[in-house]
Every structure is written in C-alpha cells, then in structure tokens.
C-alpha cells in the first residue's frame, strides 16, 4: 500500500528518534514496543505485558486512581516525569488506604522525541515501580506530529487493594485533632520553578518526589488510627487544608513557625514572595489524627523511610469565619486564601 | 500570593475557554471539576467521583487495559474522541473475555479549548459509558499551554471482570479454524481519512465506533467456545491476522471476495488505492472458531446488536512461507504485508 502524499511525510521508522510510524499499528510500532518498552518494564511484572492484563483475584476491595503527567521540564532535580508518574499514582492509592499493586502506562510521544529520552523515562518508571512494589501490567503508545504535544506525556492508572483499616476521611475530623506534615513542604514546586526558570539557587531545590507507601504501611502495621491522609500535590498543603475544612465544616489552624521547610525552599520563598503552603509536593502528605494518637503517629512516621522530619503543624478548631488560617509572626492569624490559579503551570 | 511575571500570563479563569488556571490546584480547577465535569459523568457512577475510587469487591479476576486517544479531528462522522475512548477501552476488555465495569478518565486539555467542545466530549463519554454499562469512577484534568497539545487528549483505563469462559487465545488456533469478521471492515479508518483530508465522498464514510460488549456477551451467554477475539483497531484486520499467525505459527488464508465492506469504503479504497484490511476499525472484531462452532457463532453474532453482517472471511491453514495471504481475483494468493507505518497518523 503506497503512503498517501501530504498525510504522513515522516512515517519512516528511525532508530534514534520517535516518528509517526512508531505510533501506528505496523512493524515500527511493534518493534518499538517489543524491543524498547517491554524489556525495560519486564522486571516489574510477573507475566507478559498485554493489551489487556488479566490479574490475580483481589482479596479485598479494589481502589483505582488515574493521573496524566505533563510536567515541564521532563527531568528536574530529584526526579523526572516517569518517577513522578509512578510515585504520584502509588501515593494516591496509599493515602486512600490501599496497597498499590498494579499500574497501566499510557504514553503520548511527540514526533522527534529522542529514543534516549524515552528510554531514560522508561528506566525511571521501572525503577520507581520496583521500589514501591507496583507491577506495570498493560500499556499504550501514541505518537502525535511535531508541535501537537510537548515531548512526552505519561498517564498512569493505579489499581490497589484496600487495607483492612482505611482512614475514615476528612469529614470525620474533630476539633482538637492534630494536623501533621510528613516532612518539609514545597520542595517539588520549588524544584520545578527553579529548574524551569533557570533560577541559580545554591544549593538547587530538589523535589521530594518519592513513595508514601512505606509510611502508610508503617502506620497501618503499627495499628495507628489516623482520621485522614492526603498527599499535598497540586494546590500544595493549602489545597488539602481547604478541602479538609470544607469536608468537616471546621477550621484548620496552622502554626507558621512549626512548618518544616528545607533551607533552600525557605530562602527561595522569601526571595520570590511565595508561600510554601501553596507549593506542590510529590512525596509529602498531611495526616490528621486525634490528640491520643499523636505521639504514636509521629513516632511511626519518623521511623518509616523518608518521614524523619514529620511534625505537627497545626490543629482542627471550631469553625470560625475562615476555613483555614495561619498563625504568623507575633501571633497574628492570617486567612489562607485559595488561589484562583497557581502561578506555576505543568508542575506534574 | 502575587503571580510571578512571565510564568503564567493567562492564568485567569474563563467561563468560555479552558485556561491554565483550570489545570492547577486552585479554585478555578475545583470549579471546572465540580461544575462541568462531575455533573456530566455523575449519571454513570453510583458513588462519588473521587481522586481514588474504592470499588465493590470483584467476584472474578480483574482485567485492566489502558489507551490514550489523540484522534484528529476530535469530531468525525459516527463519533468523537469521547465515544471512541469509552468504547475502545470497553472493547479491549470485552475481546479479552471480561465484562467492562469501571473506567478512569484522564484529560489533557490545551489552553484555549472551548468549554463547549469539552462539554460535548464529556456528554459523549457519559452516553457511551451508560450504554455499555461502564461507570466512570475517577479522573484527572491537566491543562498545558497553547501549542503544547492539540485540543484534547483523553486517556481511559478500563477495569473489568473475567468471564468464567474466556477465549484460549490465538496461540490455540488450529488448521481449519474459521476467521470471522463481526461486520464490514475499514469504516473507522476511512471516516477519519475522509474527514481530515476533506475528501468529498457522497455518502461520507461513517466510523463503526461502537461497543463490542453486546456481541461478546451474546457469544458467552450462548455457550460459544471461540478460540480468539480481537478488535481490529490500529493496524486494521491485517494487524490482527499478523499477530495471530505469529502466535499459532500457522498461516491465515483470507478470501478477498468474502470480506464485508460498506459501499462507500469499497469505493473510496478503490479510488485511493488503499486496502481495507489495513484500515482501522473501532467497533468491529475478528473471531476465530472451530468448524464445529462456526454456525452457532455466526448465528449468535448476527442476532447480537451491530453484527448483522458477521461472516467468515477466511481460515487458518498449515504454515506456508507467508504468515497471511489474501486470495484475490482469479484465485491468485497475494501475501499481505505488515506495513512499516500506516499512512494515517492519529486515527485513535
């Protein structure tokens, strides 16, 4: 069948760059999948990678979540779009009280993307999946013409199994409950901002991109009864606090001096006039727990990987005129606004 | 928090167009989801649309599949990107022998997309999901700057439950097995080609975009023991035949005169020099069955919705020097080549 003129001028397969031919149903597409994608993900999966994966029966209720990742730049200090996609999806399952088990991987590639970049992202996906116990069981690859996408977009869907003791959720929050940050906040947002804008900070802010599953598992194994957990991604900690305040019809009172911050995030925020509560995180969560559970939750989190700096940053109080306020210097209580849009597109 | 200059010049929310603000974690994003997306999908789902959906326990093995849809144009005769995404994902589950139950929906929107277009796609997603018994249980929305995507990309992941009698698969094909097309082939590929290139055919070719679940369910309920089923999407029927030949190490012998074709697809293929076996389908499958099962499979398919023209188009024979051949006019056997890349990017 002769190619039609003016439809796909660059449908010739290439070994170094992704071409439109790699996205269609022919030999080039099959070779891309069989030779470059499947071997890199094989280590994560017990069976074969197929168009539709038949999985072992689940002992408990399934939990499903999905996210598209369009982060720019693709590679940033502390991570890349592949690592972000796997951990982001695993974290959504974990904070919902589910053990992450399986993931699907859908790639949208721009014609002209270098194979080396694709392979680096795939290796990163495989490493993150393995480290957090997730098998990449099925996938899809599309290629769009130059200019119709920006390099690579990754959509991961996660499937997990509900633990036998999932959090009751933010609607169950009571006055007096402690609000705990699992670690320093704002690192991912600041890392992306600095990388994208070429801000010459020294040291460079590094993303917290990582798995929350070890921390959630530790809380579960220790029998901690937390009321709510939420990874503070887009919208930052502020977004989670607004959501919790709306769900329980109480006010979230945050103590600015208690918020854990990396030195470089603190410095950059002061310089740029940004509030770290508004910056995205990709491996840091907020946890709400009763005063009775506080010490066990903190101790358990600090003993779990990656949460050594877990600390109480505020508490739930009776509903006042504002849903969230921050006690700043000299005890002044300032309402925390929900921004219209964030100043930083494409952070994840 | 004042917006940083030069980072997000158009982060102001708009009611008529998608803006970068709609993709971030603030108020505009929440309003887009709460006011425009959730109400349109609500009819498909029993509970709430959440970041991670906890689902009822599954009685059988879970089956998972994912696809990104980047079709251009977004609307085409017979369907649109939303209908295509839902049916495409449901069909992948169905031909794997699973009942489609749940789907996730991840949207990548280009800044400037009209809200009317977004809403039309969402309505189409809801209608398709309802008609095929799928609940859209979780989702994600990202917005990328103008020029970083093309209008709208949709990624759907489907979760289904394995039927108690799934096909053994193409590796089980035996010489003498019948190869059945569930309906006229090549309709989707030709519809996209005609729409994109403005080819003035009369009547205009219409996509077969539709659900194969009713046909698969009918075969299952009738106790038909088919060996393999496969929706003939990218790569067309030719792609499926190549894959089956490789899996069973036999040859697929197709009879050109037996292939069901819509008159407008036949005419357009002759005019353009295209082979309908290479054109994509989005609601048509190939089924392989033993000679003993042939009549019951045909009768069952023809009685199921949308497969009235199901017919035998060839059979499996002992391995010859070519994996797939087509018996064309005057009995000449022509090898069916696997194309390097297809002449038509972005058909799904």
How confident is the prediction for chain B on average, in pLDDT? 91
Contact B272, A7 (CB under 8 A): no
- pLDDT tens digits, residue range B327-344? 998 889 999 987 665 557
Of the three residues B102, B135, B162, the one that is the final residue of a domain is: B162
**Phi-psi region at B239: left, alpha or beta (left = phi > 0; alpha = psi -120 to 50):** alpha
Do B183 and B327 have their domain in common? Answer: yes
Taking the C-alpha atoms of residue B136 and residue B79, their distance in angstroms, rounded to an integer, is 19
pLDDT in tens, A273-313: 999 999 999 999 999 999 999 999 999 999 998 899 999 99
Write the residue in A8, A27, A155 that is nearest to B68 by C-beta.
A155
Taking the CA atoms of residue A241, residue A243, residue A248 and residue A252 in that order, the dihedral angle to the nearest 10 degrees is 20
- Based on the fold, state whether residues B156 and B193 are members of the same structural domain: no
A134: CATH: 3.30.1330.10
Confidence of residue B133 (pLDDT cuts 50, 70, 90): very high
Q: Which residues of A fall within a CB distance of 8 Å from B3?
A: 343
pLDDT tier, B4 (very low <50, low <70, confident <90, very high otherwise): very low
Q: Does the residue A291 lie in any domain?
A: yes
**In this structure, are B33 and B126 located in the same domain?**
yes
Residues A80 and A201 in one domain: no
Per the structure, the count of domains in chain B is: 2
Q: For position A282, which CATH number holds?
A: 3.90.650.10
Residue B347 to residues A144, B207, B282, Cα–Cα distance (Å): 10, 11, 10
d(CA B61, nearest CA chain A) in Å? 5
Query: B1 touching A, CB under 8 A?
Result: yes
pLDDT digits (tens, 9 = 90+) for B191-214: 999 999 888 888 889 999 999 999
The last residue of one of the domains, among B141, B162, B183, is B162
Residues of B in contact with A60 (CB under 8 A): 57
Q: Is the pLDDT of residue B23 over 90?
A: no
Pair (B178, B301) in one structural domain:
yes
Q: Does A199 touch chain B (CB under 8 A)?
A: no
Max Cα-Cα span within chain A: 77
Listed residue (A343, A310, A208, A206) closest to A264, CA to CA = A206
**Domain, as residue range, for A294:** 170-335
Residue A347 within any structural domain of the chain: no
Q: Which residues of A touch B145 (CB under 8 A)?
A: 345-346
> Are A100 and A158 in the same domain?
yes
Q: Which of A214, A204, A156, A158 is nearest to A183 (CA)?
A: A214
Residues B229 and B288 in one domain: yes
Asked if residue A269 belongs to a domain, the reply is yes
Which range among A23-27, A182-186, A198-202, B12-16 shows the weakest confidence by mean pLDDT? B12-16
Assess whether A175 and A135 both reside in one domain. no
Considering B162, B178, B206, which residue would you say is the last residue of a domain? B162
SS3 A300: helix
In a domain, B3, yes or no: no
If asked whether residues B186 and B300 sit together in one domain, one would say yes
* Domain contains B5: no
Confidence label for A47 from pLDDT (cuts 50, 70 and 90): low
Task: Nearest by CB to A2, from B67, B107, B273: name it.
Answer: B273
Q: What is the DSSP string of A236-277?
A: HHHHHHHHHHHHHTSEEEEEGGG----HHHHHHHHHHT--GG
Whether residues A85 and A140 share a domain: the answer is yes
For residues B310 and B234, membership in a common domain is answered with yes
Residue B51, in any domain of the structure: yes
Q: What is the predicted ipTM?
A: 0.93
Answer whether residue B213 is part of any domain.
yes
Least CB–CB distance from A159: residue in B61, B62, B69: B62
pLDDT band of B265, cuts 50, 70, 90:
very high
**Does a structural domain hold residue A9?**
no
Judge if A129 and A247 occupy the same domain: no
């Amino acid at each position: 069948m002769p190619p039609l003129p003016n439809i796909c001028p660059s449908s010739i397969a290439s070994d170094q760059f992704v071409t439109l031919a790699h996205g269609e149903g022919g030999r080039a597409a099959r070779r891309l999948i069989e030779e470059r994608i499947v071997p890199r993900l094989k280590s994560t999966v017990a069976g074969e990678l197929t168009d539709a994966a038949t999985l072992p029966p689940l002992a408990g209720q399934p939990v499903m979540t999905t996210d598209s990742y369009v982060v720019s730049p693709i590679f940033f200090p502390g991570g890349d779009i592949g690592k972000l996609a796997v951990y982001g999806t695993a974290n959504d399952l974990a904070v919902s009280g589910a053990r992450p088990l399986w993931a699907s991987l859908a790639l949208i590639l721009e014609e002209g993307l270098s194979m080396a970049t694709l392979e680096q992202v795939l290796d990163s996906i495989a490493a993150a999946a393995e480290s957090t116990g997730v098998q990449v069981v099925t996938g899809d690859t599309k290629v769009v013409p130059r200019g119709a996408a920006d390099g690579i977009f990754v959509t991961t869907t996660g499937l997990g199994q509900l633990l036998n003791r999932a959090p009751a959720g933010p609607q169950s929050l009571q006055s007096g409950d402690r609000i705990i940050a699992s670690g320093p906040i704002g690192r991912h947002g600041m890392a992306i901002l600095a990388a994208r804008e070429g801000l010459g900070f020294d040291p460079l802010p590094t993303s917290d991109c990582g798995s929350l599953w070890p921390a959630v598992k530790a809380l579960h194994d220790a029998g901690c009864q937390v009321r709510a957990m939420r990874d503070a991604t887009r919208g930052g900690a502020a977004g989670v606090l607004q959501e919790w305040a709306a769900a329980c019809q109480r006010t979230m009172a945050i103590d600015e001096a208690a918020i854990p911050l990396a030195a470089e995030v603190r410095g950059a925020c002061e310089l740029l006039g940004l509030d770290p509560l508004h910056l995205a995180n990709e491996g840091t969560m907020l946890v709400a727990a009763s005063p009775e559970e506080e010490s066990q939750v903190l101790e358990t989190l600090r003993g779990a990987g990656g949460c050594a700096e877990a600390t109480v940053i505020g508490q739930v109080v009776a509903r006042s005129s504002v849903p969230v306020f921050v006690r700043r210097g000299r005890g002044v209580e300032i309402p925390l606004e929900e921004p219209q849009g964030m100043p930083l597109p494409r952070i994840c």
